[in-house]
Structure 1
Amino acid sequence: MVNDTTLLLGLDGLVAERVELDVTGVPVVNLSTGCEQARCCPQCGQRALKVKQWTTTRPRDLPVGGRMVQLRWRKRRWYCPTPACPRKSFTEQVAQVPARARLTSRLRQAAGAAVADAGRTIVQAARDHGVSWPVVAAAFTAHASAVLPAEPEPVAVLGIDEVRRGKPHWTWDEQAASWTVTADRWHVGFCDLSGGQGLLAQVEGRTTAAVTAWLTARSQAWREQVQAVAIDMCTVFKSAIRQVLPHAVLVVDHFHVVQVRREVLCFREGCKDPPPGCRSSSVKLAAA
């Protein structure tokens, strides 16, 4: 039977039996299963008749009425009635609290929306919702995947640049008898510079193969729409563009052109006090 507390809590399929306070004054909501569909085996769909055991879970949820609450769900583990079903037994689950979930679905969705819509960082959203940052990162990915198109719209001016993310990870390859990279510290980002799509994709690795793989995954019609590609003075990007987008105009960011020109002048003039970021000292050392 649905009571006022159940309606206030708003977790479909769960019934609030009673609310009590723990020793610290935090409300503890005791829940039971109110959805008959939870008795159906998720593998074969048959309705279970025999209870195997009872179990209690404590999923974390959003604040209710501005106060943090604790959920205590006492639910049943059922025997599957189908002899041939490989599941054998299963625990009750509802949409807001899937099987083996430690968080309610709405808490995950709120954490992802805080990053996507409210402009918070992943770390800040994790602190605000009391979860770890990997949980928020996964929630943000799920939130973005639901609203972003499967394929980017055509782009007239494409921007390509790299970003450094952490440290590389290596593993020993027994067959090749050498170390191979399992996690590259460099990622390559693709941006729409002429439209409003912003960041189109980010792929791991700063290699010609990584760039060409993403570009060739787009349709031929999409690639033909690209009129110009803006890059820094990286031969990896230049090689990839010449292979996949030979018709596109290759544009180098003027910042890098000015930077290299400044370094050449410093080297030629024998600058004794190069400005910050100038690599003329390393150029002199290499020439020596």
Structure 2
Amino acid sequence: MLVIDLESPPGPAGCPRCGRVAESRGRKQISLIDAPMGAAPVRVRWRKRRFRCVDDACAQKSFTEQDTAVAAPRAQLTVRAISWAVAQMRRENASVQGIARQLGVSWKTVWRHLKPVLERLAADESRFAGVTTLGVDEHLWHHVSTKPVEDGGRGPKELTGMVDLTRDASGRVRARLLDLVPGRSARAYADWLHERGEQFRDQVQIATLAPFAGYKKALDDELDDATAVLDAFHVIKRLFGDLVGVRCPGRDWRVGVEVPEDQKR
């Protein structure tokens, strides 16, 4: 485990309630969980400054310095650790348990810090701006009971996922997950499209989808001006599925390699 010692330089500080210059009362050390460095967990020992308000009429009495660039008040994870964890979930498909294992803390500790951040990101509608190519596909979340999460279960098995497939100025596809909603049906997708509003629907020019009639119906109902196309993954999957067992002289099309002489036919 790596340990980082942190403290701010001495200097005057104002009372957060009345604004008067406070009296220094030394320092108090707290331990924070930081983003790992390589495979090693990291801890930050922050020697926070303590103060007492000199105004006897002020209700604040005493307070400790805060720096939201380091960590939120009463948080156990640093801002950097939370940002790292969100990035792990986005780019590496990491689970909360996997993140907790790398940080050396419990599942509950990680989720308590990540949940409000993820809820805030999910409520940010700005991620839907500029989406001109929209993809959709089903996602099987688990293989157990559909018992609600609030009752100790894992919730719905099937989800519908929407992805931004818009190309940037250099021609590269963004490939950003925009949303996940419960269910795999025309209604699940159509309701999501309707909730995005007319401005979002008007900007979508191309809509890719899996070979599922329900999603096509939702597009016909909500994105009738967009060009609907089968996504590349399912085109290739269907193509090679149709070619299974097909052989040409001297070549096996199933694997695309030369066939030994004694197997040619």
TM-score by length of 1: 0.52
Give the superposition deviation at 1:58. 2.0
Higher mean C-alpha displacement, 129-138 vs 103-112: 129-138
2:41 and 2:242 mapped to 1: Cα distance?
60
Where does structure 1 lack aligned partners over 5 or more consecutive residues? 1-24, 173-178, 263-288
Q: Say whether 1:214 aligns with 2:192.
A: yes
Aligned counterpart in structure 2 of residue 106 of structure 1, from 67, 76, 80? 80
Q: Is the 8 A contact 1:51 1:79 kept in 2?
A: no
Q: Say whether 1:205 aligns with 2:179.
A: no
Higher mean C-alpha displacement, 196-205 vs 127-136: 127-136
Amino acid at match of 1:164: L
Cα RMSD (Å): 5.2
Q: What's 2:114 paired with?
A: 138
Give the superposition deviation at 1:40. 3.2
Identical counterparts, % of pairs: 21
Q: Structure 2 matches for 1:91-102, cutoff 5 A?
A: 91-95=64-68, 96-102=70-76
Give the superposition deviation at 1:103. 2.5
Q: What's 2:148 paired with?
A: 170
Q: Provide the secondary structure at the position in 1 that maps to 2:72.
A: coil
CA 1:33 to 1:104, structure 2 compared with 1: closer, same or farther past 3 Å?
farther
Q: Is the 8 A contact 2:8 2:48 kept in 1?
A: yes
1:153 and 1:233 mapped to 2: Cα distance?
26
Aligned counterpart in structure 1 of residue 136 of structure 2, from 147, 160, 173? 160
1:211 and 1:83 mapped to 2: Cα distance?
59
Give the superposition deviation at 1:210. 3.3
CA 1:161 to 1:78, structure 2 compared with 1: closer, same or farther past 3 Å?
farther
Give the superposition deviation at 1:163. 0.8
CA 1:29 to 1:236, structure 2 compared with 1: closer, same or farther past 3 Å?
same
CA 1:130 to 1:191, structure 2 compared with 1: closer, same or farther past 3 Å?
same
Q: Structure 2 matches for 1:62-81, cutoff 5 A?
A: 71=45, 73=47, 76=50
Q: Say whether 1:237 aligns with 2:240.
A: no
Deviations for 1:138-191, whole angstroms, at most 9, x for unmatched residues?
39959x89xx953331414x321011223534279xxxxxx9x99333222223
Give the superposition deviation at 1:203. 1.9
Where does structure 2 lack aligned partners over 5 or more consecutive residues? 168-172, 244-265
Q: Provide the secondary structure at the position in 2 that maps to 1:150.
A: helix
1:228 and 1:67 mapped to 2: Cα distance?
45
TM-score by length of 2: 0.55
2:41 and 2:79 mapped to 1: Cα distance?
18
Q: Say whether 1:186 aligns with 2:177.
A: no
Aligned counterpart in structure 2 of residue 151 of structure 1, from 104, 109, 128? 128
